[in-house]
Structure 1
Amino acid sequence: MELMEQEGYNYKFDPSACEACGGHCCTGESGYIWAKYDEIEKMATFVNLSVEDFATMYLRKVKHRYSLIEKQLAPDNFACIFFDESKKRCAIYPVRPSQCRTFPFWEQFKNDEDEVRKECPGIV
């Protein structure tokens, strides 16, 4: 088991926990899944769409930024549009946005380890 760690964080992350977790970091309250233009290009290519078609189908504009859209699973439970509910994992994993790649080492969790522990069973 190879634990991931990042400077400035008091916890480590065990990526092998993802298999059993079922995608807690991809589901839950409604929120934003930010994507930069170069990430949008990679995602569009991955799903065989032009950037324009990808944007129309999968993005929403929030001021000057773009977020992947969500799908509603239950009254208070949402998932990223690319969360595969049957496999319980990301359908575009190799090209997922950096927001997804950097989880659980987010600035907001640096001083709130309790919150990230609630969210992620891979925290050790």
Structure 2
Amino acid sequence: MIYKQGFDFCFDEKACVACGGKCCVGESGNIFASFEELEAIRAFLGLEKAEFVKTYLRKVGLRYSFKECEFENGFACIFFDQRKKNCSIYELRPKQCRTFPFWDYFKKHKEELKNECIGIYF
């Protein structure tokens, strides 16, 4: 179980195995990564910068977000393996993904979190 100060819930990371990637799919949104995180993913994939940006990223203001693909009744992160139903770059996933579900947003939107993540306990 993972507990984080300031949050009134805990998270069982073992639930991710059975989940099917619900935090990686759903409504369209932004999945931001720092330039350092993007460089690590680019190097891991063995792509030149221009090809990596063209294939996997979209510009949102001054930042980059991962592209999305259509999936079931919504969207999935481009790095979501739709066959295995998990993250294909899990070890390199950006901070936004690593810190899930401990986002300030979920302090006030507990029902939404409960519907999205089977590993949450209040």
TM over 0.5: same fold? yes
Q: Provide runs of 4+ in structure 1 moved above 6 Å.
A: none
1:12 paired with 2:21, answer no
Q: Could you report, residue by residue, the CA deviation over 1:41-81 in whole angstroms, capped at 9, with x for unpaired residues?
A: 0110111112222111100001111100000013x410000
Select the residue among 33, 48, 51 that pairs with 2:49. Answer: 51
Instruction: Count matched residues.
Output: 121
Contact in 2 for aligned 1:13/1:122 (Cα 8 Å): yes
Look up the match of 2:30: 32
8 Å Cα contact 1:11-1:113 kept in structure 2: no
Amino acid of the residue matched to residue 44 of structure 1?
R
Alignment correspondent of 1:100? 97
Instruction: Report the equivalent of 1:77.
Output: 74
Q: Which runs of 5+ in 1 are unaligned?
A: none
| Structure 2: stretches of 5+ with no match in the other structure | none
In percent, how many aligned pairs have the same letter?
A: 50
Structure 1 length as normaliser, TM-score?
0.93
TM norm structure 2: 0.95
Rounded to whole Å, the distance in 2 between the matches of 1:38 and 1:9 is 28
Q: For 2:53 and 2:104, locate their aligned partners in 1 and report how far apart those are by CA, in whole Å.
A: 28
- Give the equivalent residue in structure 1 for 2:60: 62
Within 1, Cα distance between the matches of 2:92 and 2:51?
Answer: 17
**Cα distance in structure 2, aligned partners of 1:115 and 1:39:** 28
